[in-house]
A and B are shown apart, each in its own frame.
Chain A
Amino acid sequence: MSDLRLLADGVGEPAWLRRSLIAIAVSFMAVFLLLPLANIFHAALSEGWRVFLASLHDENAAQAIRLSLVSTAAAVLISGVFGLAAAWLLGRHKIPGHGFWVAILDLPFAISPVVAGLMFVLLFGLDGWFGPWLDRHNIQIIFAKPGIVLVTAFVTFPFVARELLPLVQALGPEAEEAAMLLGASPWQTFWRVILPALKWGLLYGVILCASRAMGEFGAVSVVSGHIRGETMTLPLHIEAVYNEYQFGAAFACASLLSLMALVSLALKSFVAWRAQRELESQ
């Protein structure tokens, strides 16, 4: 009987211990996560709404927001397409050195963003492999927008590929083979059979990728060149204005970035919930 009671409670620890453990966990979350986040919004509005709006409308801030959005979109597109391709290749086919390639997918996670940025400087900088050729043809990659997009895509690459790899493996080749046998073209098979099966995973990966891309600082800082009004992203802009004693403006932009992060968090949870429901209904 008493064993049953314990089972019903779900735990064997005395109530006071349970309560204090919960209290510790909750207060830790509050102090470490919620309080600093709330404080950003508080600081953003500390100099009033006018300063808040003006700092977001500022020419340089607007450019930084635009560049962040553009480079995020480009990075998502690149990581999405190549992540899908990589997951497909590794999930469906046994290529030589399979385990090695799967491990390599995680390389961008393992490497520090600063090193990632420097890798691109070593490739495309004047001293780099392609530097002299690019210079002769007047193509600017590093210290310009293409460089920012490239490093952002690099650091966010694993999100989509990692998310899709297990799904592709679980999907198996049967549905595809059936579609092909019934006369579907490869494109039709891709759009009608494969993509629907992967869509929630893809969406989940894309959201993770986007939220990381928006916030990326280290790698972008190395390749940006920090040209005001041209190659600043939102995180770089926040650091710059903070260092210029414009604390209100810095926190206004920081609150915008946090807001974008919260939105992607909500989207992510929504996608996970929908995917779960779909799975259960099947």
Chain B
Amino acid sequence: MNRFLRSLLLLASLGTALQAQDVKLLNVSYDPTRELYQAINPAFAAHWKAKTGQTVTISQSHGGSGKQARSVIDGLPADVVTLALAHDIDALATQRQLLPVDWQKRLPGNSSPYLSTVVFLVRAGNPKGIRDWNDLLKPGVQVITPNPKTSGGARWNYLAAWGQALKQKDGSEAKARAYITELFKRVPVLDSGARGATTTFVERGLGDVLLAWENEALLVTEGTGKGKFQIVLPSTSILAEPSVAWVDKVVQKKGTAAVAKAYLEFLYTPEAQKIIAQNGYRPSDPKALKAAGSRFPQLKLFTIADAFGGWDRAHDAHFKDGGSFDQIVVRK
């Protein structure tokens, strides 16, 4: 009996020891990063196993960036969030102190391990001759972009269009507003999400040009729409900085702080940066960007900070109720 008990105890302790070897992370992200993190996760798991002997499994959750942030605020237990814009992660800090307000300073490059920009996707041969932003206003051109009220991707498009008008030699607020007003007259449908807009353009064949993140556009030209579409890079565009952060409140509770932090730091390693480039995102490391070669041509890029004074101000001026977007839609 005694021996039986002891072996039982031994088994139980073995069980907990085995459990200690296993660790689970939940990465709450936005829609188009699924393929990226599917490639990153096994690479990190191997890296972590070699370093600590622990087996790490990473679950992914995807949805619209704003919706995902809302879910984390409501209790979705995300160890790390990898969202489309810093503004959404700020909400975790301001609405429910899930992480410190200065989270963006904790990782290199404003906590953006990968970057992107807004480009034009046109039909093969570029029948409407679209080369730059002003060509979008040519008569007969229809533009597809999702609704900035609901889609994080659409906000980047909107700010790219606004910012480039602002950055032109004789640019001004008034000219930017006029440009955007004209642009949205050429949008036949406002989809609620970036993927929906891509489907409208690619599958349903609506519109002449799709404003899209470069990684989304590359996914189309190298994947489903090979040979049927091509990418046009405008002379100027916005630098999209998707941000990542570990969620302090959650990792403290789960005891996953070390591995969550390591997971995000791994994104900056040469190995991960290469995977990032393969998935159509611009690596934040200049060396990795150079190694990726002609896939990511150079263009003039402005940041949210230098064109709009940061996300908070951009949001208030343009997307809040009564902001510039509302004014334009009402006037239309």
**A 134-180 contacts with B by CB, 8 A:** 135, 138, 140, 142-143
Interface flag for A126 (CB, 8 Å) = yes
Interface flag for B26 (CB, 8 Å) = yes
Interface flag for A218 (CB, 8 Å) = no
A225/B71 in contact, CB under 8 A: yes
Residue in B26, B61, B193, B224 whose CB lies within 8 Å of A245: B224
A135-B98 Cα distance, complex, nearest whole Å = 14
Residue in A142, A230, A247 whose CB lies within 8 Å of B74: A142
B219/A228 in contact, CB under 8 A: no
B96/A245 in contact, CB under 8 A: no
Known contacts A225-B61, A227-B61, A228-B61; A245 and B71 CB within 8 A of each other: no
Contacts between the two chains (Cβ within 8 Å), count: 55
A235, chain B: closest CB distance, angstroms: 14
Interface flag for A186 (CB, 8 Å) = no
B71/A143 in contact, CB under 8 A: yes
A138-B254 Cα distance, complex, nearest whole Å = 10
Task: Mark interface residues in A215-236 (1 if CB within 8 Å of B CB, else 0).
Answer: 0000000000111111000000
Residue in B62, B74, B253 whose CB lies within 8 Å of A226: B62
Known contacts A127-B74, A142-B75, A143-B76; A227 and B34 CB within 8 A of each other: no
Chain A residues, Cβ within 8 Å of B203: 247
Chain B residues, Cβ within 8 Å of A228: 34, 59-62
Scoring A127, A227, A244 by chain B CB atoms within 10 A of each residue's CB, the highest score goes to: A227
Residue in B76, B199, B223 whose CB lies within 8 Å of A225: B76
Known contacts A244-B34, A245-B223; A125 and B62 CB within 8 A of each other: no
Chain B residues, Cβ within 8 Å of A227: 26, 59-61
B75/A125 in contact, CB under 8 A: yes
A137, chain B: closest CB distance, angstroms: 12
B131, chain A: closest CB distance, angstroms: 27
Interface flag for A282 (CB, 8 Å) = no
Interface flag for A243 (CB, 8 Å) = yes
B75/A226 in contact, CB under 8 A: no
B75/A230 in contact, CB under 8 A: no
Task: Mark interface residues in B52-63 (1 if CB within 8 Å of A CB, else 0).
Answer: 000000011111
* A contacts with B: majority SS: loop
**B 177-202 contacts with A by CB, 8 A:** 193, 195-196, 199
Interface flag for A240 (CB, 8 Å) = yes
| Interface size of A in residues (CB-CB distance below 8 Å) | 23
Chain A residues, Cβ within 8 Å of B75: 124-126, 131, 135, 140, 142-143
A54-B277 Cα distance, complex, nearest whole Å = 28
Scoring A128, A135, A140, A228 by chain B CB atoms within 10 A of each residue's CB, the highest score goes to: A228
A142-B76 Cα distance, complex, nearest whole Å = 8
**A 238-253 contacts with B by CB, 8 A:** 240, 243-245, 247
Known contacts A143-B76, A227-B26; A245 and B219 CB within 8 A of each other: yes
Residue in A127, A143, A229 whose CB lies within 8 Å of B77: A143
A121-B72 Cα distance, complex, nearest whole Å = 12
Chain A residues, Cβ within 8 Å of B63: 226
A126/B96 in contact, CB under 8 A: yes
B215, chain A: closest CB distance, angstroms: 13
Interface flag for B307 (CB, 8 Å) = no
B292, chain A: closest CB distance, angstroms: 23
Interface flag for B275 (CB, 8 Å) = no
Chain A residues, Cβ within 8 Å of B253: 138
Chain A residues, Cβ within 8 Å of B285: none
A226-B28 Cα distance, complex, nearest whole Å = 9
Interface flag for B31 (CB, 8 Å) = yes
Interface flag for B73 (CB, 8 Å) = yes
A125/B219 in contact, CB under 8 A: no
**B 56-105 contacts with A by CB, 8 A:** 59-63, 71, 73-77, 96
A126-B34 Cα distance, complex, nearest whole Å = 26
A240-B62 Cα distance, complex, nearest whole Å = 9
A197-B143 Cα distance, complex, nearest whole Å = 63
Chain B residues, Cβ within 8 Å of A230: 59
A140/B74 in contact, CB under 8 A: no
Closest to B202 in A: A245
- 8 further interface pairs, Cβ-Cβ under 8 Å (given A135-B75, A243-B195): A140-B77, A143-B71, A225-B71, A228-B60, A228-B61, A240-B62, A245-B223, A245-B224
Q: 27 A-B Cβ contacts within 8 A?
A: A121-B74, A126-B73, A126-B74, A126-B75, A126-B96, A127-B74, A127-B96, A128-B74, A131-B75, A142-B74, A143-B71, A225-B76, A226-B62, A226-B63, A227-B26, A227-B61, A228-B59, A228-B60, A228-B62, A229-B59, A243-B31, A243-B193, A243-B199, A244-B34, A244-B35, A244-B195, A247-B203
Closest 5 A/B residue pairs (Cβ): A125-B74, A126-B75, A143-B76, A243-B195, A227-B61
